[in-house]
Structure 1
Amino acid sequence: MSEEKASRQRRIRSARAVIRHGRVAPVKGSRTVLGFIAAGLSVVLVATLSIAGIAFWDITRSANAGVALANDQKIPDIGAIEGGVNFLLVGSDSREGTDANVFDADPGSTLNDVNILLHISADHTNATVVSIPRDLVVRYPECPDADGDGYGGGGWTGPINGSLNEGGLPCVVLTVEELTGLSIPFAAMIQFNGVIEMANAVGGVEVCVAEPIEDEYTQTFLDAGMHTLSGLQALQFLRTRHGVGDGSDLGRISNQQVFLSSLVRKLKSAQTLTNPVALFGLAKAAISNMTLSNSLNSLDTMVSIAMALKDIPLENIVFVQYPGSTGGAGVYAGKVQPNQAEADALFAAILADQPIGLSGTTGNGSVADPEAEAKAAAAAEAAAKAAAKAAKASPTPSASSSSSATAAPATTPAPEVAVLPETVNGQTAGQYTCSAGRTLNEQ
């Protein structure tokens, strides 16, 4: 096959994906929103990777205290992974395992409608989570196909969510590496069906809704106020696009961060960390709903990454939306175009391992929680009580250990915070936000 013909076929495939992706959805569910169901599980994994890994580790270490056998092997002491971590979480829009009466028919192709990049700093003091819009127009690199052969990239562009269908998870990783300039050694793919299991495993997630959410496409109807969402209701909340902000996919990202920041706070709370049943349920739900890269398919690796995440303060876990705006022309009209200057600033900071600071808003899908100060104070009080209880339960350090502790280790200065431009949206896990609802009359 000539290169010209191969190039033409690639463009046809891309155009089909673009056109299909723009179809109007029936009420029972559109494929243009289904992929975002996976966003919940994807960013949930950022938080639960720590808890799931440590849960398995603790369970295994506890088993070692049982009946000793002649051929017992000592469980190694596992510490935090050395250096920084780049980890790509991909959400597939596959219909596998879903109820045909709830979701529309399988389109016969699989798109990566969710692409979330986790960066853990080399000193393990901060983490940045970048949500890449599914319709972001990017350059496709040369990717391996199912037979291991490559196809020519050569500057061909298209929405990023076609890369999974082109060459599987490896192609998504290569595409994001070219987009960001980062090396990504760890990756996982999650199907959206798992978000129900994860929401149930955690016992529901409390979200704040500032104005009513009304969305006939996803059957999401929530009054203003506080709601604890689990199962299908949580899934509907994560799917909604028409019912929040300006009805765009970019607005939906910030709305999802209302759910995800609340989930991270719950997962890192004492109520979850000290509950072995909850830990095991989260671990099982996470592992059961992931396809892992070979580099990640190891308990030691998962626990090592977990150890790097577990002590990062909520205010140092930053969710960022990849800088972009809706625009374009021709077949890419209405797709998300990169805001290159802002994107360059974001990834220069990540490459330099600087903590990220936000100066803009959370995005049009969310607003600040008016009760944020009171909620933060209550959370701090609960954490202090839990810490005091844990300290009381811990054995008193010996005199020798106390004397050795007097020699404090040398510390290195904290790296300078890279404050992003005001046009970059996001929030920290420590921020309390509410969904900016949108009624049917506003649509």
Structure 2
Amino acid sequence: MSDLGRRPRRAARVPTIARHGRLKRYSAVRAVLKFLAAAVAVLLVSGGSVAAIATWSVVSSIQPSVTLANETPGVQMPDIDAIEGGVNLLLVGSDSRQGQDAMFGDPEKETATLNDVTMLLHISEDHSSATVVSFPRDLFVPIPACPNPDGGTYGAMSSQKINTTLSYGGLPCTVLTVEKLTGLSIPFAAEVQFNGVIELSNAVGGVDVCVGSPIKDPYTGLDLAAGTHNLQGLEALQFLRTRHGVGDGSDLGRISNQQVFLSALVRTLKDGNTLSDPTKLFGIAKAAASNMTLSNHLNNLNNMVSIALALKDIPFDQIVFVQYPNAIGDSGGQSGVLPIKSSANALFQAIQNDQPISLTGGTGVGSELDPNAPGATETPAPVETPAPVEGSTTPPLDAGATTPPATPGGAVALPENVLGQTADDRTCSKGNN
């Protein structure tokens, strides 16, 4: 991988092909000889040139980056061949219709920009474990003062839904909000829209997911029978967006349904040796660079590839997908979900300490364990969490951090109301038809 950080050489000027003029005729023998000579030349220089061409191809497709509040404009992290230490990366899925295919709606009529998906990836310092935390879109959180892209600053707010942060201050505001909520520093962030999800799913060749019971969602157009489906392109996007077709029809059900896809995606990437294959990684990196808005520190080929490489040797059972612990509640007259701070503190204290975590609750209402998977057992019932007092803007939550217990293997056993699964858990989507 040492060639990844090298600066590509300037490509030689290629003569323009005549589109309508008369071309000189060459004999078949001469054409074959030229082809063979070219092939030999490629073989002789492929050691460095192929990597250089691939690097140039990816770099040339990278979109303008976004400066986060914790970054210094114009200052890049040094190029690296393999990332050292831990990683905190925030992935935000935007529902904006700007620049998207017309089938997703009229951008002039659907003008809101909300982050329907907000997920935090944490990779431990020693690359032995990874955690992906999904934040419900209707989670009431304090939003700090955020920089206005047009200049100035948006004022802080004590309680707003997390999915409004993109509309207040773009990706930097979402990052600041999650940093305040979790106590973590997040140097890497990316925003993806509908078309980007389609292209990224195509880049990995699709993902095999289990559908336990039929999913039919007229809102997204998803119609899947029970069974295993290879999802890519538009169908993958529909699957990740559906909430009316799974679980109880809520965003909480959608999160556990997304975790079915994500755990299968991890297995696809690792089982197919994608994370060890530079050619495949280049393809995915190019798709990401071409279809996502990246923060400055992530807008770098080496950083993208090296973060992927950090996941290469992590066992499936140490890659955990969790839903931020929450309770149905009300804030300022709006219905939504409120954070359960005691459980959240246990989760993020473990993450800050780089301790592996162990789940004791269920998978969530949008998924279930695959009954046909080896060693499958019955899925624990989702934990019912008492709702806060109606109309209260202050969640009845424990603000004090507690030291979570550790299992004999050193993993922190999280409370039962922290739902999710590992990449080793074979799960199926739970349609609500």
Give the alignment's TM-score, normalised by structure 1. Answer: 0.70
Match for 1:140: what amino acid? I
- Aligned runs of 1:306-317 on 2, under 5 Å? 306-317=308-319
Q: Pick the aligned partner of 1:145 from 148, 165, 170.
A: 148
Cα distance in 2 between the residues matched to 1:290 and 1:327: 33
Cα distance in 1 between the residues matched to 2:2 and 2:289: 13
Deviations 1:7-46 (A, max 9, x none): xxxxxxxxxxxxxxxxxxxxxxxxxxxxxxxxxxxxxxxx
Checking the alignment, whether the CA contact within 8 Å between 1:88 and 1:117 is kept in structure 2 is yes
Checking the alignment, whether the CA contact within 8 Å between 1:78 and 1:303 is kept in structure 2 is no
Say if 1:359 and 1:54 are closer, same or farther in 2 by CA, change over 3 A: farther
- Aligned runs of 1:155-194 on 2, under 5 Å? 155-194=157-196
1:82 CA displacement: 2.4
Say if 1:267 and 1:55 are closer, same or farther in 2 by CA, change over 3 A: farther
Deviations 1:368-401 (A, max 9, x none): 01122189xxxxxxxxxxxxxxxxxxxxxxxxxx
Aligned identity (percent) is 62
Say if 1:56 and 1:370 are closer, same or farther in 2 by CA, change over 3 A: farther
Say if 1:359 and 1:150 are closer, same or farther in 2 by CA, change over 3 A: same
1:425 CA displacement: 0.6
Question: What residue in structure 2 maps to residue 420 of structure 1?
Answer: 414
Deviations 1:158-198 (A, max 9, x none): 10111111111111111111111111111111112111112
> Tell me, what secondary structure is at the counterpart of 2:333?
helix
1:233 CA displacement: 1.5
Cα distance in 1 between the residues matched to 2:275 and 2:83: 21
Checking the alignment, whether the CA contact within 8 Å between 2:275 and 2:309 is kept in structure 1 is no
Is 1:368–2:362 an aligned residue pair?
Answer: no
1:420 CA displacement: 0.7
Checking the alignment, whether the CA contact within 8 Å between 2:343 and 2:418 is kept in structure 1 is yes
Cα distance in 1 between the residues matched to 2:303 and 2:275: 20
Checking the alignment, whether the CA contact within 8 Å between 2:202 and 2:232 is kept in structure 1 is yes
Count of aligned positions: 340
1:80 CA displacement: 3.1
- Of structures 1 and 2, the one scoring higher in RCO (CA 8 A, sep 6+) is 1
Say if 1:311 and 1:328 are closer, same or farther in 2 by CA, change over 3 A: same
1:276 CA displacement: 6.7
- Aligned runs of 1:271-282 on 2, under 5 Å? 272=274, 278-282=280-284
Deviations 1:321-345 (A, max 9, x none): 1111222155321x11111111111
- Aligned runs of 1:103-142 on 2, under 5 Å? 103-106=105-108, 107-142=110-145
Question: What residue in structure 1 maps to residue 200 of structure 2?
Answer: 198
- Aligned runs of 1:181-330 on 2, under 5 Å? 181-270=183-272, 272=274, 278-328=280-330, 330=332
Question: What residue in structure 2 maps to residue 345 of structure 1?
Answer: 346
Match for 1:424: what amino acid? V
Match for 1:144: what amino acid? P
Deviations 1:129-169 (A, max 9, x none): 0011111101111111124422331x531101111111111
1:251 CA displacement: 0.7
Cα distance in 2 between the residues matched to 1:54 and 1:245: 47
Cα distance in 2 between the residues matched to 1:78 and 1:133: 34
Say if 1:419 and 1:204 are closer, same or farther in 2 by CA, change over 3 A: same
Say if 1:141 and 1:367 are closer, same or farther in 2 by CA, change over 3 A: same
1:367 CA displacement: 0.5
1:353 CA displacement: 1.1
Question: What residue in structure 2 maps to residue 11 of structure 1?
Answer: none
Say if 1:63 and 1:191 are closer, same or farther in 2 by CA, change over 3 A: farther
Cα distance in 2 between the residues matched to 1:233 and 1:168: 27
1:201 CA displacement: 2.0
Cα distance in 1 between the residues matched to 2:235 and 2:296: 33
Question: What residue in structure 2 maps to residue 433 of structure 1?
Answer: 427
Say if 1:200 and 1:251 are closer, same or farther in 2 by CA, change over 3 A: same
**Pairwise CA RMSD of aligned residues?**
3.0
Say if 1:184 and 1:77 are closer, same or farther in 2 by CA, change over 3 A: closer
> Structure 1 residues 349-358 or 262-271, which shifts more?
262-271
Question: What residue in structure 1 maps to residue 65 of structure 2?
Answer: none
> Tell me, what secondary structure is at the counterpart of 1:129?
strand
1:116 CA displacement: 0.7
Say if 1:102 and 1:167 are closer, same or farther in 2 by CA, change over 3 A: closer
> Tell me, what secondary structure is at the counterpart of 1:261?
helix
Match for 2:122: what amino acid? H
Checking the alignment, whether the CA contact within 8 Å between 1:355 and 1:415 is kept in structure 2 is no
Checking the alignment, whether the CA contact within 8 Å between 1:354 and 1:415 is kept in structure 2 is no
> Tell me, what secondary structure is at the counterpart of 2:111?
coil
Checking the alignment, whether the CA contact within 8 Å between 1:54 and 1:303 is kept in structure 2 is no
Checking the alignment, whether the CA contact within 8 Å between 1:79 and 1:307 is kept in structure 2 is no
Cα distance in 2 between the residues matched to 1:217 and 1:160: 23
Checking the alignment, whether the CA contact within 8 Å between 2:154 and 2:168 is kept in structure 1 is no
1:363 CA displacement: 0.5
- Structure 2: which 5+ runs fail to align? 9-44, 53-77, 377-407
Structure (1/2) with the larger helix percentage? 1
Deviations 1:287-326 (A, max 9, x none): 2111111122222322332332222111111111111122
